[in-house]
Amino acid sequence: MLLPVAMVSPSFVLALIALWGAAVGSAFVPSSTKGAGTGNSPPRVVPPPARRADSPPPPSRVVLGSGSGTLEEDPLADVRTSYIEVSRQYRRTRYTHDDWLKHRSPDRFLSNLAEFSTSGIYRGILKEVGTVAAIASFVVLWNIFLGEGWTDSAGIHHDTFGLPLLKLPLTPFTLASPSLGLLLVFRTNSAYRRWDEARKAWGLVINNSRNIARMGAAWINEPDEEVRQRKLDRLAKCIWAFPRSLARHMESPYTGEADYVADLRDRLDPEHADGLIQAAHRPNRALFDLATAVNNLSMHSLRRNEIDKSIVVLGDQKGASERLFSSPVPLFYTRHTARFLTIWMLLLPLGLYDSFQSMNHIGMIPCAAVLALFLFGIEELAFQLEERELCVLTCWSVVGLHFSFFFLKNVLRPLTHLLFCFSLPALNFTACMQPFRFSHSSAIPTPSVTMHSR
């Protein structure tokens, strides 16, 4: 015989609510993080599992705390080290053919449900969901212990103090739900358009960087092979420096400065690196260095003008990136949507109370929590998409250039090997480039980097 807990005694109801809350909280904590870390220690990020056995391990370099300032100096250190922020680095998806097969697999519904408790989006809104569940629990406890009473397992009703019930008619929520839906749809659509525009801007940076390298290597007219190689090497370093400086330009001053300086010192000449580090606007300085390197190439002026057109496109995309980064979706719209959703969800347990008559209305608690999880999840998705240009611009998607002398000296194949390594913001550039090293007599290498994504 099914024994409804709430029908026995008030203590059983309290125990049920406590156990349910603990189960919901622990369900969103991976087993490898339970019991790890105490006090004010930052949360430990668990990277997603590798897609295949030969996938590279997650990066070892962490951006947090590696900048010129420390976490103690950062006024937003607590926010920056929260799980929702740290886990953003694992949400930069780059698909291969095998990934598309898995993406449209018939088992995708079951696999998505199996990963429900490990979702970073849901973990980021646990406070909101917990608040709605707490209000729903309070409404149930108030109404059955102080208001209308409860019914035990024998079907006997027990009266209590007869205080007014905490409940509302469901009609206002039904009337307001279409408006809330329109607000959320517009919010997510606007955020996706920003994400797509940022992705296209970074794609143009990639394509025009390739064009500059290709045209420079193909059109240079330098009889001295040593001078030719030196000028092309300078061009390659300048091309690499621009996207790296643009990525750093979009990052917080408290994170990544040390990594940026180390990368410049490792890849560039001392004078070149010092000029970029000390520049007031590093992407502009990188474009100036790139234009100077192109101007120093020995070629016809018309060909040099063609290369300069690609440099102009790089400047345009730099401006587009800065515009996206500095201009969010209008704040009044974002705030109104957040307030509408918050008030609607906080009052929803009062409207759901009469809809759950059995088991002393206990079923209303998990129902309100699930609705809060999905609706607040939509709002969280919009926030993550809105600043998703950071996943494109400050990922940092570093451009790796490696010119092969063997191909540069051949007339039939004056191709430049421009290799782009998309990875997580903390990826070690030197380790990233190791799979792409090749000798002068080797064929063009094929990148085989697998991205970890959520």
Whole-number pLDDT of residue 368: 96
Give the tens place of pLDDT for each residue, 248-284: 998 888 778 889 999 999 999 999 999 999 999 999 9
420 lies in a domain? yes
Q: Do 432 and 287 share a domain, yes or no?
A: yes
Average pLDDT of the residues in 316-321: 93
For residue 349, is it within any domain? Answer: yes
Both tokens assigned to 346: 């906080």
- Give the chain's end-to-end CA distance (angstroms, integer): 43
For the CA atoms of 66, 69, 75, 80, what is the dihedral angle to 10 degrees? -10
221 and 315 co-located in one domain: yes
For residue 10, pLDDT beyond 80: no
Say if residue 216 is in the same domain as residue 355.
no
Across the chain, what does the average pLDDT equal? 75
**158 and 278 inside one domain:** no
Q: 319 and 335: one domain?
A: no
In a domain, 68, yes or no: no
Whether residue 219 is found in the same domain as residue 293: yes
In percent, the amount of the chain with pLDDT more than 70 equals 69
| Per-residue pLDDT tens digits for 143-201 | 999 998 888 888 888 888 889 999 999 999 999 999 999 999 999 999 999 989 988 99
**Is residue 90 in some structural domain?**
no
Query: Higher-confidence residue: 1 or 257?
Result: 257
379 and 256 belong to one structural domain: no
Find the Cα–Cα–Cα–Cα dihedral 214, 219, 222, 224, rounded to 10°.
Answer: 40
Question: Same domain for 147 and 206?
Answer: no
For residue 115, the model assigns a pLDDT of 85
What does the pLDDT read at residue 92? 63
Whether 62 is in a domain gets the answer no
pLDDT tens, 69-100?
444 577 877 777 777 777 776 666 778 888 89
Provide the pLDDT for residue 445: 34
Same domain, 235 and 297: yes
Whether pTM exceeds 0.95:
no
Q: Which domain holds residue 136?
A: 1-26+119-166+330-386
Confidence of residue 31 (pLDDT cuts 50, 70, 90): very low
State whether 135 and 234 are in the same domain: no
* 3-class DSSP string for the chain: CCCCHHHCCHHHHHHHHHHHHHHHHHHCCCCCCCCCCCCCCCCCCCCCCCCCCCCCCCCCCCCCCCCCCCCCCCCCHHHHCCHHHHHHHHCCCCCCHHHHHHHCCCCHHHHHHHCHHHCHHHHHCHHHHHHHHHHHHHHHHHHHHHHCCEECCCCCEECCCCCCCCCCCCHHHHHHHHHHHHHHHHHHHHHHHHHHHHHHHHHHHHHHHHHHHHHHHHHCCCCCHHHHHHHHHHHHHHHHHHHHHHHHHCCCCCCCHHHHHHHHHHHCCHHHHHHHHHCCCHHHHHHHHHHHHHHCCCCCHHHHHHHHHHHHHHHHHHHHHHHHHHCCCCHHHHHHHHHHHHHHHHHHHHHHHHHCCHHHHCCHHHHHHHHHHHHHHHHHHHHHHHCCHHHHHCCCCEEEECCCHHHHCCCCCCCCCEEEECCCCCCCHHHHHHHHCCCCCCCCCCCCCCCCCC
Better-scored residue on pLDDT, 118 or 164 = 164
Between 422 and 170, the more confident residue is 170
Question: Do residues 253 and 215 share a domain?
Answer: yes
In this structure, is residue 105 part of a structural domain?
Answer: no
Instruction: Find the mean pLDDT for residues 391-409.
Output: 38
Together in a domain, 14 and 142: yes
Does 175 map to a domain?
no
**Does residue 60 lie in a domain region?**
no
Inter-axis angle of helices 301-326 and 225-249, nearest 10: 20
Domain total for the chain?
A: 2
